């Protein structure tokens, strides 16, 4: 009796384990095909300057237009792409999709608006990302100042010396460097400054604390003061309310990004004007 139920439990675990394995293998195969057939589309989310209420930049965010499951967000496939190494090819594809779009914007309101590209840790550490970007710029005939890259703090710890050299070489193309999800890792501001970063994007977990308790405000105030003294700009991510926007403006945060201002949309659905009818008037 005890033996049987133990055996059943084993079979149960065993089949659940194999189901998960089979599911993962299927997903990986689908992802590989999706990259080969380019089933991906980029959505773009505007960033806004607090002082001018104008769009300063667009963040490119990848979506997988899955043949049977519809539009999937990055949280459903970037992790698997990283684990399997498929991120290297997906990353190249993203750079190409973004540069294709930038070239199409050669005329019109988005012509001079830089687009920031999220670069994953493996893509940064295992590929010559400077070469990927430089060749995409040349292929599409666009200027380095049209592109920015976003890296998380965890991408830099793998090899700080190589990271610094790499970043300087990318910067020399005219490409701006942004730290993504800042505050969730362990890098110091002086290190980031030495690595030539232009912009800190403060993680949305800090933004969501604004107006609830003092901690978010204390963090932003300290970061903004230090970043400014080092010549870096500060962007608040994940701004969802008028109150958060108001507090961030009062703290002299440089730029805001979040659902309160703009949601990520396909290129065709971006607004026809770069002007957000005054940020302050919005709240």
Q: Which residue ranges make up the site for ligand C2E (CB under 6 A)?
A: 45, 60-62, 73-75, 78, 91, 94, 118, 120, 150, 180-181, 204, 238-240, 258-259, 264
Among 140, 150, 136, 230, residue whose Cα is nearest residue 182: 150
114 binds, among Mg ion, ligand C2E, none (CB under 5 to 8 A by kind): none
How many Å apart are CA 62 and CA 59, to the nearest integer?
A: 10
276 torsion bin: left (phi>0), alpha (psi -120 to 50), beta (else): beta
Does 150 bind Mg ion (CB under 5 A)? Our answer is: yes
30 binds, among ligand C2E, Mg ion, none (CB under 5 to 8 A by kind): none
Does 255 bind Mg ion (CB under 5 A)? Our answer is: no
Residue 261 phi/psi, 5° resolution? -95, -60
CA quadruple 224, 227, 231, 236: dihedral sign:
negative
The answer for residues whose C-beta is within 8 angstroms of residue 136's C-beta and 6 or more apart is 95, 96, 99
Among 181, 217, 254, 255, which residue sits at the site for Mg ion (rule: CB under 5 A)?
A: 181
Closest CB 114 distance from ligand C2E, rounded Å = 15
236 binds, among ligand C2E, Mg ion, none (CB under 5 to 8 A by kind): none
Pick between residue 56 and residue 118 the one whose CB is nearest to ligand C2E. 118
Among 175, 162, 68, residue whose Cα is nearest residue 132: 175
Pick between residue 127 and residue 221 the one whose CB is nearest to ligand C2E. 127
Pick between residue 28 and residue 194 the one whose CB is nearest to ligand C2E. 28
254 binds, among ligand C2E, Mg ion, none (CB under 5 to 8 A by kind): none
How many Å apart are CA 96 and CA 184, to the nearest integer?
A: 29
How many residues touch Mg ion under the rule CB under 5 A: the total is 5
Binding to Mg ion (CB under 5 A): which residues in 45-84?
none
Does 123 bind Mg ion (CB under 5 A)? Our answer is: no
- CA-only gyration radius of the chain, Å: 21
Using DSSP, state whether 178 is helix, strand or coil.
strand
Pick between residue 101 and residue 118 the one whose CB is nearest to ligand C2E. 118
Among 163, 158, 200, 159, residue whose Cα is nearest residue 181: 200
277 binds, among ligand C2E, Mg ion, none (CB under 5 to 8 A by kind): none
Does 118 bind Mg ion (CB under 5 A)? Our answer is: yes
Among 49, 153, 180, 255, which residue sits at the site for Mg ion (rule: CB under 5 A)?
A: 180
Beta strands 255-256 and 233-236 are: parallel
Does 30 bind Mg ion (CB under 5 A)? Our answer is: no
108 binds, among Mg ion, ligand C2E, none (CB under 5 to 8 A by kind): none
120 binds, among Mg ion, ligand C2E, none (CB under 5 to 8 A by kind): ligand C2E
Residue 222 phi/psi, 5° resolution? -65, -45
Among 93, 97, 71, 84, residue whose Cα is nearest residue 27: 84
Interface ranges with Mg ion (CB under 5 A): 118, 150, 180-181, 237
């Amino acid at each position: 009796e005890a033996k049987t139920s133990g055996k059943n439990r084993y079979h149960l675990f065993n089949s659940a384990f194999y189901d998960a394995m089979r599911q993962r293998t299927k997903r990986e195969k689908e992802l590989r095909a999706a990259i080969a057939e380019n089933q991906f589309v980029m959505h773009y989310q505007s960033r806004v300057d607090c002082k001018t209420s104008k769009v300063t930049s667009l963040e490119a965010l990848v979506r997988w237009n899955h043949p049977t499951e519809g539009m999937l967000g990055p949280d459903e496939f970037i992790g698997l792409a990283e684990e399997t190494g498929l991120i290297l090819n997906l990353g190249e594809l993203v750079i190409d999709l973004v540069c294709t779009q930038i070239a199409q914007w050669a005329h019109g309101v988005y012509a001079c608006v830089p687009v920031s590209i999220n670069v994953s840790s493996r893509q940064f550490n295992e590929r010559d990302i400077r070469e990927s970007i430089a060749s995409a710029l040349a292929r599409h005939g666009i200027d380095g100042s049209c592109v920015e890259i976003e890296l998380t703090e965890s991408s830099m710890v793998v090899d700080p010396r190589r990271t610094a050299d790499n970043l300087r070489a990318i910067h020399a193309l005219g490409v701006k460097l942004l730290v993504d999800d800042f505050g969730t890792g362990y890098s110091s501001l002086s290190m980031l400054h030495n690595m030539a970063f232009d912009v800190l994007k403060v993680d949305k977990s800090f933004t969501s604390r604004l107006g609830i308790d003092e901690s978010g405000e204390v963090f932003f105030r300290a970061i903004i003061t230090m970043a400014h003294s080092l010549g870096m700009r500060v962007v608040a991510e994940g701004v969802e309310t008028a109150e958060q926007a108001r507090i961030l403006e009062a703290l002299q945060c440089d730029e805001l990004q979040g659902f309160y201002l703009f949601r990520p949309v396909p290129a065709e659905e971006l607004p026809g004007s770069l002007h957000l009818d005054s940020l302050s008037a919005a709240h």
